[in-house]
């Protein structure tokens, strides 16, 4: 497939799990892809090697989403080294379940800093490089739509904020021909939430399809939103959760 031929994408948090699957899929569809990582250069370089093997250009950038300057520098470096920037996927995030009343100020700040502020900084910086028909995709969570258990308040709040960010930006950027959407995965089989973990059966039963999703399925949805076929989709949040929030 070559529907993204000539395009350049940046996937934050792209060294493993959903982010890595998105990076691989965008490359398979023809894009050159940069990805950021924090603590696993070997995994990031392995994803880049897979991208290079498709004949596309890959680039791994060390950038901690907790540091605004690092986020902005990663965006600028992508555009400088790969020549442009057409697709931004804000995937980097943290998940720390804990009782609400026990949450520390540091934990509250980390949810804001990594799950929301980093996306804002990345988008602001990316807009200096983006032209008409560029795409922004924020990776949210089905927990923004349905909070299924205690201890998820701060995480769900941060992902709900991404929905508001998406809708507002769709209005701000629509006149420039740039689309902004949010993808909200449910239980997805990754190393952070494996389908064979002790708590997996409860998550599986909470879905309508009684199954975990795969990172590749999420990547396919992101690839569609990044494609020319999705030019009329903006300002929306799309659940890919097996009916978890139904």
DSSP string, 137-174: EEE--GGGT---STT-HHHHHHHHHHHHHHHHHHHHHG
Catalytically annotated residue among 37, 111, 155, 244: 155
Q: 37 an active-site residue? A: no
Handedness of CA 184, 187, 193, 199 (dihedral sign): positive
d(CA 166, CA 236): 7
Compute CA distances 167 → 74, 137, 221, 245, whole Å.
25, 12, 18, 20
Active-site positions read 155
């Amino acid at each position: 497939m070559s529907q993204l031929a000539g395009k350049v994408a940046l996937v934050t948090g792209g060294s493993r799990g959903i982010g890595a699957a998105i990076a691989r899929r965008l490359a398979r569809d023809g894009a050159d892809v940069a990805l950021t990582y924090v603590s696993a250069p070997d995994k990031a370089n392995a994803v880049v090697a897979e991208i290079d093997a498709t004949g596309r250009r890959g680039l791994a950038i060390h950038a901690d989403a907790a540091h605004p300057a690092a986020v902005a520098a990663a965006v600028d470096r992508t555009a400088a080294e790969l020549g442009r920037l057409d697709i931004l996927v804000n995937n980097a995030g943290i998940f720390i379940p804990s009782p609400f009343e026990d949450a520390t100020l540091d934990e509250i700040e980390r949810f804001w800093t990594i799950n929301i502020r980093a996306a804002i900084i990345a988008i602001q910086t990316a807009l200096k490089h983006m032209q008409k028909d560029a795409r922004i995709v924020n990776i949210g969570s089905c927990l923004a739509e349905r909070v299924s258990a205690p201890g998820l308040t701060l995480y769900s709040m941060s992902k709900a904020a991404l929905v508001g960010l998406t809708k507002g930006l769709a209005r701000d950027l629509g006149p420039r021909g740039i689309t902004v959407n949010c993808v909200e995965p449910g239980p997805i089989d990754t190393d952070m939430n494996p389908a064979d973990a002790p708590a997996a059966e409860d998550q599986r039963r909470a879905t309508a399809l009684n199954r975990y999703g795969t990172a590749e399925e999420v990547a396919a949805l992101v690839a569609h939103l990044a494609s020319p076929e999705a030019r009329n989709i903006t300002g929306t949040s799309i659940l890919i959760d097996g009916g978890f929030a139904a």
